[in-house]
Amino acid sequence: MTHRATLDFLLYDWLDAESLCQRERHLDHNRETFTAVLDLSEKIANEQFAPINRLTDLQEPEFDGETVHLPKETPVAMQAFNESGLMAASKDAELGGMQLPTAIEMASMSFFYKASVSLAAYPMLTRGNANTILSHGTPLQIEVFAKGGFEGRTFGTMCLSEPQAGSSLSDITTRAVPDVQGDGSGVDWTQDPLGQRYRLRGNKMWISGGEHEMGENIVHLVLAKIPGADGKTIPGVKGISLFIVPRKLVKADGSITSQRNDVALAGLNHKCGYRGTVNTLLNFGEGKFPVNGQSGAVGYLIGKEGEGLKCMFTLMNEARISVGLGATMLGYAGFEASLAYALQRPQGRRMGAGGKDHSAPQIPIVEHTDVKRMLLMQKAVSEGGLALGLLCAQLVDDDYTGTPEQREQANLLLELLTPIAKSWPSEWAQEANSQAIQILGGAGYTRDFPVEQFWRDNRLNMIHEGTHGIQGLDLLGRKVVMNGGKALSVLAERISQTITRAGQVAGLAEHGNALAAALQKIGQTTKAAWSTGVPEEALANATPYLQAFGHTVLAWIWLELALAAKAAQAKGEWDQGPLGTGFMQGKLATADYFFRFELPKIDAWLGVVSGRDMTCAQAQADWF
């Protein structure tokens, strides 16, 4: 299987990740250190995560009314990950990090997502949580609450959703009031060195990793509203603030006490897939674990009052790219499993000029054209999705350590591409998983093979971190029009450069022309959607727009990869390696597949957007 080789191709032949080592932050690194990190990641993922992926699916987390029980293998896998130091791979040396580029960190994570996406969710959430504290916390909050996460001692969550507020976070009802009464002794607890101290009360739904016994503590990041003097909260997202709420109370010196904060587990959610990650309904401040004799979960304000959602977007943007990569790697896992099956499953015979020769031995199904179609589809999605994830990771690097011009461009491109990085793999890698099941035939529909689990696991990704519909609204409603369409112009400029290069390479001009036409259609459709300035009309078909935009971005990526493959072929280095000439030929054939089978789909999607078709918008509830 070629996951590792594909990573090398993407990182070095395409993205030139080695050049990042010239930046001051990464001066201690070179290709050898990157290789060592990827080797280590692949080893831990294969030895500690993959073997228990099915087990964590079968042995769901259980709650006995007091304690959550996970399979005993789960903390062992977490420990192996935490001890590797990978949690802080891209962080400063002072934080115990390796100062690796984000692109290498994401490449490292791709092994874990493929091996067991639901186990990898714990480090993914913890890292995002600690990064948010790092970006918005005080030095003491970072020392006390983020460091433990980076060191793999504590776990982190994000607590946004509530039973009545999922997509519409402005409607959260969790409240935070200043902790003025303290223990009744008149001590003003609000001025705690760990931050302004509040008491939180409310219910948070769907919280991943919300309760378990792993690690020294769980650090919850919680969105809540602070009522004004009149007891009312500011409507909308402006009223939302962010709080650090530790599961066990922490002293200002960072030592974790044995005293529980007033955060109680109300129950577990029993999921279709992704079962290795415990998913919880948490009650904050209901009085089950009173602090200083009073109900209310102790929380410390992080960032400014009213800027909670803004702060949380640090985590959400990062989480969205990671969700997309997780979806991609589930697609990759299904691709590998179905390819292995197709290579050895004999069934049917080749078509010949005079029909089938039934006396001939059966052929492996990988020889059938329709099976090859399904493999090419999966390859296009999983390798293309991996390329998209790494591209976004490298944009994060440019945003952090690039030249001022690189930073500006990276920032705009990240804003624009994040909905695509999240949604495109979520939709198409799940479809790829469906194709994997199809290749296995009846076997694919059983629990004796892993592909049905990949499909179930992947179904989550269009739901969490902003549903598919919400991502479409974000893209067409905000991202393509922000700053007068500046981000879209930057992307169009990049795509045009690729098209120009493709025009000079034999065999790629056809794809370059198709991409140029697609880009033009995206531009025209964006204008047509907004031509009346009526949001209900412009956004009536935001999801088809998201689909078409995603396919156009992926066509661009596949043209880039085809160019890189042609350049590699010209050098001949890969052809002489263990994978032979087939490796690059496979990349080129997949680009052909994408341009001929996938990109043409955008016409149907864009048609309803540019015509501001109101079929769905005008359908009435009582027509259904």
Between 41 and 458, name the residue whose CB sits nearer to ligand FAD.
Answer: 458
Measured between alpha carbons, how far is 265 from 212 in angstroms, rounded to an integer?
A: 10
Q: Is 158 in the site for ligand FAD (CB under 6 A)?
A: yes
Contact call for residue 96 and ligand FAD (CB under 6 A) = no
Report whether 587 contacts 558 (CB < 8 A): no
Rounded-to-5 percentages of helix, strand, coil across the chain = 60, 10, 30
Which CB atom, from 99 or from 279, has the smaller least distance to ligand FAD?
279
Would you count residue 467 as binding ligand FAD (CB under 6 A)? yes
Query: Cβ 16 to ligand FAD, closest distance in Å?
Result: 35
Which residue from 333, 348, 332, 356 is spatially nearest to 441, judged by alpha carbons? 348
Task: Assess contact for 502 and 559: CB atoms under 8 A.
Answer: yes
Scanning 380-388, 419-427, 445-453, 461-469 for contacts with ligand FAD by CB under 6 A, the matching segment is: 461-469
CA angle centred on 391, ends 389 and 393, rounded to 5° = 70
Report helix angle 542-571 to 602-610, nearest 10. Answer: 140
The answer to the question of residue 485 lying near ligand FAD (CB under 6 A) is: no
Task: Decide if residue 478 touches ligand FAD (CB under 6 A).
Answer: no
Can you tell me whether residue 302 is helix, strand or coil?
A: strand
List Cβ neighbours of 121 (8 Å cut-off, separation of 6 or more): 208, 209, 274, 276, 277, 326
Pick 391 or 470: Cβ nearer ligand FAD: 470
Window 493-522: residues binding ligand FAD (CB under 6 A): none
Provide the minimum distance between the beta carbon of 213 and ligand FAD in the complex, in angstroms, as a whole number: 18
**Pairing mode of beta strands 297-302, 256-260:** unpaired
Identify which of residues 408 and 613 has a Cβ nearer to ligand FAD in the complex.
613
Does 159 bind ligand FAD (CB under 6 A)? Our answer is yes
> For residues 104 and 112, what is the distance between their CA atoms, to the nearest angstrom?
13
Nearer to ligand FAD, 476 or 480 (CB): 476
Q: What angle do CA 3, 549, 601 make, to 5 degrees?
A: 85
Rounded to whole angstroms, the Cα distance separating 30 from 17 reads 9
Site for ligand FAD in 178-237 (CB under 6 A): 206-208
Residue whose CB is nearest to ligand FAD in the complex, by number: 166
Nearer residue to ligand FAD within complex by CB, 152 or 209: 209
Yes or no: say if 475 and 552 are a contact pair by the CB < 8 Å rule: no
Q: Which two tokens stand for residue 242?
A: 């962010």
Residue nearer to ligand FAD on the CB measure, 163 or 572: 163
Q: Pick from 11, 160, 176, 237: which binds ligand FAD (CB under 6 A)? A: 160
Contact map string, positions 254 to 283, toward ligand FAD, x by CB under 6 A? -----------------x--x----x----
How many chain residues are in contact with ligand FAD, going by CB under 6 A?
A: 20
Residue with tokens 């979520």: 426
In angstroms, the CA 495 to CA 162 distance is 40
Task: Tell the smallest beta-carbon distance from residue 426 to ligand FAD (Å).
Answer: 12
Q: Which is nearer to ligand FAD, 207 or 557 (CB)?
A: 207
And the tokens for 167?
């997509």
Q: Which is nearer to ligand FAD, 296 or 477 (CB)?
A: 477
464 touches ligand FAD (CB under 6 A):
yes
274 vs 556 by CB, closer to ligand FAD: 274
Cβ at position 269, least distance to ligand FAD in Å:
7
Q: How far is the CB of 460 from ligand FAD (least distance, A)?
A: 5
Site for ligand FAD contains 161 (CB under 6 A): yes
Beta bridge partners of 157: 220
319 binds ligand FAD (CB under 6 A): no
When the beta carbons of 82 and 543 are compared against ligand FAD, the nearer one is 543
- The gap between the terminal CA atoms of the chain, to the nearest Å, is 47
| Interaction between residue 463 and ligand FAD (CB under 6 A) | yes
Residue 567 neighbours by CB distance under 10 Å: 14
Query: What's the farthest any 2 CA atoms get from each other in the chain?
Result: 96
Q: Which of 176, 470, 475, 557 binds ligand FAD (CB under 6 A)?
A: 470
Residues that bind ligand FAD (CB under 6 A): 157-161, 166-167, 206-208, 271, 274, 279, 460, 463-465, 467, 469-470
